[in-house]
Amino acid sequence: MAQLSADNHGLRLVVRYTVLGLIALIFVFPLVFMLMSSLKPDAQLLSDTRSLRAFLPVGDISLDNYFDAFRRAPVGLFIFNSVIVTGVTVVLTLFICSAAAFAFVFVDWRGRDLVLTLILATLIVPFETIAIPLLLIASKLPWLGFDGLTYGWLNSYQVQIIPFVADGLTIFLFVQYFKDLPGELIEAARVEGASWWQVYRRVVIPLAGPVLATAAILKFLVMYNQYLWPLMVVQEERYRPVMVGLQYFFQLNRAWGEIMAYLSLITVPVLAFYLFLQRAFIASIASTGVKG
Amino acid sequence: MTSLRLLATSIAITTAMSSAAFAQTTLTMWYHGAGNEVESNIVNQIISDFNASQSDWVVEIQSFPQAAYNDSVVAGALAGNLPDILDVDGPVMPNWAWSGYMQPLQIDEAKIANYLPGTKGVWNGELYSIGLWDAAISLVTRQSYLDELGLRTPTLAEPWTGEEFMDALAKAKASGNFDYALDLGTAWTGEWYPYAFSPFLQSFGGDIIDRSTYTSAEGVLNGDAAVAFGNWWQGLFEDGYAQATQDPADRDNGFNSGKYAFSWNGNWAALGTLDAYDDVLFLPAPDFGNGSKIGAASWQFGVSAASEHPEGASAFIEFALQDKYLAEFSNGIGLIPATASAAAMTENYKEGGPLAVFFDLSEAQALVRPVTPGYVVAAKVFEKALADIANGADVQDALDSAVDEIDADVAKNDNYGF
């Protein structure tokens, strides 16, 4: 009987890992196709698409597409711009949205529920509907920089960052998470004389690892994939992000190999960020798993 | 004392030189060619030559990728951030002029008297833009295919009739040598549809909008001629001559790898085809009863309405209209030079050159797309109607709907000033 049970368990494991392996393959296939295609000349790339050769490093393999991609566009500059814009936005978003959620959940103030409802209502407003009014505002806003007081934020990093440092979805994520934290912890800290800032900084944020990681990943993806807004507000190449840069490769005679090389290059920061936060995410769960 | 005089003189000269330098006014320019190294190099060379040729103006360029360019200009106009000089796709120019994004050019029109008609952007009787090149489409095939299929080689003077064209497709299909008889390039969406396919409609006797009034498409896009065109168009797909949806890879490489007997394609792809075969033919469009037609007008230079220095911007554009630059663009990116004298300076378009036929096609058959601000909407409506018909929609219904949509847009915009 015990032998039968062990056999069943083993069979279940085999089936489970086979299914999981197949699903993983399906998800990995596009990435493998992209990487393999980035190493092939266009004619071979196109002829390989009808067979499994598309997923294999066979035939005329070289890094020429990567060199050509760097010749066609300032790839490094675009990646740098996107990393700066995305990185700063993620950091500011985590601070501002978590602080806002903290105020909504733990601090008692008049009109709190109404304001939260209004913020959540913004979730149903697509960005495209406010893009033009936002453009008109951004084109006239003052900015105090190295050149003194100037007007108009077009062609800058701040115009790509500041409109996105607070959003309803991220505040909602923090609010939901904070509601599940034990209220006794906050009460105890307040009784001990901690200020609201100290409670936020020393009690709530250390317990918010999972939601910080989740919010960071979601925000990173949204910001890294920004296309419409930078297209509207950035006319100078030196501030262009990667997704607008992708259009450099869509000429009438498309260089598919270079497109794949460019896509492979701009995918690296996304994968790196995800892998980095995946570990932080797991560590956060491990360290906060005892709270219940 | 002598030293003091020398010092004073030096200061005076330095100040004068600085004043001269400061007297130069910067002109900003937006261009659609980012990512195209050859094109960018030529534009940069023209700017460099212009800046060195005089002391009044300095042109500074900002390049955009083509796919993002139009949206960037519209956003720039909304934000009040347009440059002095911009380039504009020919059929879009009337919309930008009507929208107040552009102002008429201040150039000597005698200089463009011998330019190909498709390179002149005229709206409301005024010249708003001028192109250094044009583009043209031809029916690409091989002499060996025509010989094998027993087909007459059509000429500019005697193109194929509609019947001859359909006979050629039927023979190509019956030969069994090809996946499809005709590569229409349906993988390319957007402006390709009105640019490449509306000339067929015009050859049938229809049009996207009634050019006598520019206020309605009624009768021209859904009349008898247009319905005949629609039935013919639908038949191409129902009879298996062409694909309603096409793999982009087939568009890029299909004809050159022998999948199609004929390809409806532009001169920008011609050099690749010449590399693939040694007996390539670039044939004129078939005549469906109202003459052979192909599209015209490509990218052109213009002056933005926001420019405070239209005379400087126009001076730059006039400077760019030199045959040597027209020839350089043609040699670099394969497009048709705007003048015969520039064509004679090129490798491909000089008399006897491998692409010279495109200059003749452009001169003889080119018809600009409807010159109206409403074209940008009508073009999208036309594209949708053709895609619907290709996928089996009722021809009359699809065309009637397109007419309703175009007419509603024209009415909503007060007839676009017509």
CATH number assigned to the domain comprising residue B104 = 3.40.190.10
A1 and A74 housed in the same domain:
no
* Whether the predicted pLDDT of A283 surpasses 70: no
pLDDT band at A282; cut points 50, 70, 90: low
A197 and A95 housed in the same domain:
yes
For residue B113, being part of any structural domain is answered with yes
* Whether the predicted pLDDT of B15 surpasses 70: no
What pLDDT is stored for residue A145 in this prediction?
86
- The tens digit of pLDDT for each residue in B163-200 reads 999 999 999 999 999 999 999 999 998 899 999 999 99
B276 and B331 housed in the same domain:
no
Distance CA B284, CA B358 (A): 9
Query: How many pairs of residues across A and B have Cβ atoms under 8 Å apart?
Result: 79
Taking contacts as CB-CB distances below 8 angstroms, the residues of chain A near B34 are: 73, 237, 247-248
Q: Which residues 43-72 on chain B approach chain A with CB closer than 8 angstroms?
A: 62-68, 71-72
Mean pLDDT of B403-409: 98
B152 and B251 housed in the same domain:
yes
Mean pLDDT of chain B: 93
The single residue listed with the structure tokens 């409807």 is B370
Gap from B115 CA to chain A (nearest CA, Å): 24
* Whether the predicted pLDDT of B78 surpasses 90: yes
B313 and B277 housed in the same domain:
no
Chain B interface, mutation test: which of A252, A256, A260, most B Cβ atoms within 10 Å? Answer: A252
By residue range, what is the domain housing residue B185? 137-295+374-417
DSSP string, A68-129: HHHHHS-HHHHHHHHHHHHHHHHHHHHHHHHHHHHHHHHS--TTHHHHHHHHHHGGGS-HHH
Instruction: Among A44, A62, A80, identify where a domain stops.
Output: A62
A201 and A71 housed in the same domain:
yes
Chain A interface, mutation test: which of B70, B133, B252, most A Cβ atoms within 10 Å? Answer: B252
* Whether the predicted pLDDT of A86 surpasses 50: yes
For residue B360, being part of any structural domain is answered with no
A115 and A4 housed in the same domain:
no
Count of domains forming chain A: 2
Instruction: Among B317, B340, B363, identify where a domain stops.
Output: B340
- State what percent of residues in chain B have pLDDT above 90: 87
Count of domains forming chain B: 2
Question: By CB neighbour count within 10 A (0-12 exposed, 13-18 middle, 19+ buried), where does B90 fall?
Answer: buried
Element (H, E) at B282: strand B280-283
What pLDDT is stored for residue B286 in this prediction?
97
What pLDDT is stored for residue A285 in this prediction?
54
Chain A interface, mutation test: which of B66, B299, B304, most A Cβ atoms within 10 Å? Answer: B66
What pLDDT is stored for residue B279 in this prediction?
97
- State what percent of residues in chain A have pLDDT above 90: 77
Q: Distance between the two ends of chain B, CA-based, in angstroms?
A: 75
Mean pLDDT of B27-45: 93
For residue B264, being part of any structural domain is answered with yes
Beta carbons of B36 and A235 less than 8 Å apart: no
Distance CA B357, CA B353 (A): 8
A111 and A215 housed in the same domain:
yes
Taking contacts as CB-CB distances below 8 angstroms, the residues of chain A near B75 are: 135, 231-233
By residue range, what is the domain housing residue A16? 1-62
B182 and B323 housed in the same domain:
no
CA–chain centroid gap for A218, Å, is 5
B247 and B378 housed in the same domain:
yes
- The tens digit of pLDDT for each residue in A175-216 reads 999 999 998 999 999 999 999 999 999 999 999 988 999 899
* CATH label of the domain that carries residue A73: 1.10.3720.10
* Whether the predicted pLDDT of B109 surpasses 90: no
* Whether the predicted pLDDT of A173 surpasses 90: yes
What pLDDT is stored for residue B19 in this prediction?
45
Distance CA B341, CA B350 (A): 9
For residue B42, being part of any structural domain is answered with yes
A140 and A256 housed in the same domain:
yes
What pLDDT is stored for residue A281 in this prediction?
61
* Whether the predicted pLDDT of B18 surpasses 70: no
Distance CA B231, CA B226 (A): 9
A95 and A113 housed in the same domain:
yes
Taking contacts as CB-CB distances below 8 angstroms, the residues of chain B near A250 are: 35, 65-67
DSSP letter for B114, please: T
Range of weakest confidence among B267-271, B312-316, B399-403? B267-271
ipTM of the complex: 0.81
